Structures are given as structure tokens and as C-alpha cells.
């Protein structure tokens, strides 16, 4: 079923952007839609034309596949992701990730909004994800046949890509923090007790996305990197109440610009 959908999506895309061969896939997180402006467009395809692509129900997620170039590097940009909490399906991004792999993307760059567990890493900061903790207990590969499902997750966040992103951030004057991202199911924010538990487990930032796409991309043998915009201090750590509107506002206002500059420098350097 999934793979039939992927084949149909590939043929829709090949019809709309004949001969276009993206090398890098990008997933835009909550409030980071302005990054799409950095792309010189070749084609824009609504998810509704792509069988198996989820129609995002979360504000800040458009639901379009944008094909184009950033600094001459051909990219496929998922403007809008769906989350586990929207339908209770961890594999909701399976068709989009496999479609990007099928188009020839060897690398997937993910962005997200996250809460910080480090008081010194304040809202507006950007964090390069070094590793993750899947706190939900679910996998997008549940039900997947074959031995490939036993995906090796060591160095899931590719060390060479991380080095290149760090260099790009330095070159653009952007401070890039590094840390471990923990995935909670949501959609309610965490309790302060859950955040204390996450801290003891070794997490630096908390969010409701990204981990399923990383597992799917590693299963598809893509290289992966992820950047988090810190939109708030995690539950119980700050005075401000947590809200989706605040997440959108901080991501759009501060971190998005630093991520845009970092990615532009990364792509200007050839993007690997
Ligand atoms: N928790 C979970 N997801 C988030 C947060 C948070 O504090 N901030 C932005 N996304």
C-alpha cells in the first residue's frame, strides 16, 4: 500500500518537474515556513495531489512539496509535516520520506520547534541534534516486514553532516548549541515531572516530532541531520505558560532566521 503510494507520488512529481533530481530533502518544522523563501522554485505540489501524503492539521504547516534550488543545490522541501498526535499513527510521514528517497535525496535535513531543558539555552536559540530518545514507545516501522527494519541507530545524526552544519553556523555568525532531543507524543505539553525525568535521562530539548522521520530516513538509507529552534524553556522551568501560539511566534521571529542563514551557508558550500 505504502509503496504503491510512493510510486504514484513519484510519477506525479516527475510529471510536474520533469528531469528534476533533488539531492537533499528538507522538512520544515512548526513556524519555520519562511525558510521556503530561500528556495528558487521549480514546482510546488500540494500534498492533496500526492497519494499518502498527510494533510497537516496544525497551524504553521502548509502541506506543500516545494521542488527547487538553494544556491544551485536541487532540493525537495516538505513544507508541513504531520505528527503522531494528529491521528495516533507513528508512520504518518512514511510516504513523504520514502518519496524523497525515491526521488534520489541522499540526505534529509529536519527542522523542528522544541522546548529547552537547559536554562542557559534560551528561547530563540538553535540546537543541532546529536542523538535522540524515543520516549513514546512507538515506531513508524511497526508492521514493516524484513530484516531491514532492525535499523542501526548509532550515528543516526550523521557526524560529517553535523560538522558541516557547525562550520556553516560559525561562518554565518550563528551560535549553534548541541544536544539530545527527546520525543514525547503530545499534543499536551509535558508535565514538570516528565521534564525532570527527561533531564535525568539525558535530554537537552523536548519536542513532538522528528524522531519518526529520522527512523524512516535511516531505514531508507538516507543521511540525517536535525536542527531545533528552541521556542520555550520546558515545562516547569520558566514563568511563561506554554502554548502553540507562543511556539509559532518565537520560531518564526528568532530561530528561523538563524536556521535560514546556517542552511544558506551550508548550501553555498555545496551541501555535500
Ligand atoms: N514540548 C514539546 N514540544 C514542543 C515544546 C515543548 O516544550 N516547545 C515546542 N515544541
Task: Give me the pLDDT at residue 174, please.
Answer: 95
User: What's the CA gap between 215 and 152, in Å, rounded?
Assistant: 9
Ligand 1 atom, smallest distance to 208 CA: 3
234 touches ligand 1 (CB under 6 Å): yes
Contact 135, 92 (CB under 8 A): no
Nearest to 211 by CA among 178, 234, 182, 179: 182
Task: Give me the pLDDT at residue 1, please.
Answer: 62
Region 240-256: mean pLDDT is 73
114 touches ligand 1 (CB under 6 Å): yes
Nearest to 114 by CA among 210, 198, 42: 210
60 touches ligand 1 (CB under 6 Å): no
| pLDDT tens digits for range 24-72 | 999 998 767 778 888 999 999 999 999 999 987 766 657 999 999 999 9
User: 188 alpha carbon to ligand 1 midpoint, in Å?
Assistant: 9
Residue nearest to atom 10 of ligand 1 (CA): 114
User: What's the CA gap between 145 and 254, in Å, rounded?
Assistant: 42
Angstrom distances, CA of residue 170 to CA of 10, 173, 272: 37, 5, 17
Q: Look at the block and give the residue holding cell 505539553.
A: 189
Task: Give me the pLDDT at residue 100, please.
Answer: 98
Region 160-176: mean pLDDT is 96
Q: Look at the block and give the residue holding cell 543541532.
A: 128
Residue nearest to atom 3 of ligand 1 (CA): 207
Mutate to test the pocket of ligand 1, among 30, 60, 194, 208 (most ligand atoms within 8 A of CB): 208
Task: Give me the pLDDT at residue 78, please.
Answer: 95
Residues 6+ away with beta carbon under 8 Å from 107? 23, 24, 25, 158, 161, 222, 223, 224, 225, 271, 272
User: What's the CA gap between 61 and 82, in Å, rounded?
Assistant: 8
For residue 157, pLDDT over 70 is answered with yes
| Phi-psi label, residue 191: left if phi above 0, alpha if psi -120 to 50, beta otherwise | beta
At residue 94 the predicted structure's pLDDT band, cuts being 50, 70 and 90, is very high
Q: Which domain holds residue 10?
A: 2-268
User: What's the CA gap between 155 and 182, in Å, rounded?
Assistant: 16
179 touches ligand 1 (CB under 6 Å): no
Residues 6+ away with beta carbon under 8 Å from 36? 28, 62, 66, 77, 79
Residue nearest to atom 9 of ligand 1 (CA): 114
Give the number of domains in the chain.
1
For residue 206, pLDDT over 90 is answered with yes
189 touches ligand 1 (CB under 6 Å): yes
Find the CATH number of the domain harbouring 72: 3.40.50.1580
| pLDDT tens digits for range 207-247 | 999 999 999 999 999 999 999 999 999 999 988 777 777 76
Nearest to 208 by CA among 83, 57, 93: 83
Task: Give me the pLDDT at residue 80, please.
Answer: 86
Amino acid at each position: 500500500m505504502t509503496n504503491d503510494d510512493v510510486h504514484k507520488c513519484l510519477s506525479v512529481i516527475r510529471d510536474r518537474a520533469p528531469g528534476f533530481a533533488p539531492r537533499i530533502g528538507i522538512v520544515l518544522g512548526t513556524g519555520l515556513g519562511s525558510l521556503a523563501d530561500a528556495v528558487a522554485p521549480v514546482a510546488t505540489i500540494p500534498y492533496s495531489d500526492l497519494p499518502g501524503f498527510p494533510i497537516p492539521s496544525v497551524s504553521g504547516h502548509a502541506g506543500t512539496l516545494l521542488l527547487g534550488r538553494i544556491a544551485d543545490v536541487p532540493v525537495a522541501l516538505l513544507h508541513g509535516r504531520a505528527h503522531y498526535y494528529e491521528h495516533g499513527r507513528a508512520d504518518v510521514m512514511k510516504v513523504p520520506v520514502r518519496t524523497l528517497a525515491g526521488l534520489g535525496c541522499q540526505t534529509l535535513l529536519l527542522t523542528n520547534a522544541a522546548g529547552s531543558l537547559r536554562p542557559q539555552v534560551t528561547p530563540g536559540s538553535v540546537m543541532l541534534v546529536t542523538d535522540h530518545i524515543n520516549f513514546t514507545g512507538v515506531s513508524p516501522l511497526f508492521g514493516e516486514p524484513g530484516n531491514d527494519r532492525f535499523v542501526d541507530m548509532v550515528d543516526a545524526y550523521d557526524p560529517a553532516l553535523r560538522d558541516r552544519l557547525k562550520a556553516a553556523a560559525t561562518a554565518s555568525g550563528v551560535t549553534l548549541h548541541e544536544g539530545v532531543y527527546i520525543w514525547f507524543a503530545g499534543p499536551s505539553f509535558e508535565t514538570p515531572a516528565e521534564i525532570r525525568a527527561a533531564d535525568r535521562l539525558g535530554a537537552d530539548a523536548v519536542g513532538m516530532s522528528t524522531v519518526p522521520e529520522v527512523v524512516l530516513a535511516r531505514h531508507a538509507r538516507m543521511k540525517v541531520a536535525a536542527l531545533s529552534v528552541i521556542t520555550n524553556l520546558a515545562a516547569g522551568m520558566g514563568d511563561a505558560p506554554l502554548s502553540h501560539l507562543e511556539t509559532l511566534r518565537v520560531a518564526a521571529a528568532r530561530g528561523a532566521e538563524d536556521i535560514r542563514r546556517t542552511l544558506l551557508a551550508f548550501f553555498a558550500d555545496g551541501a555535500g
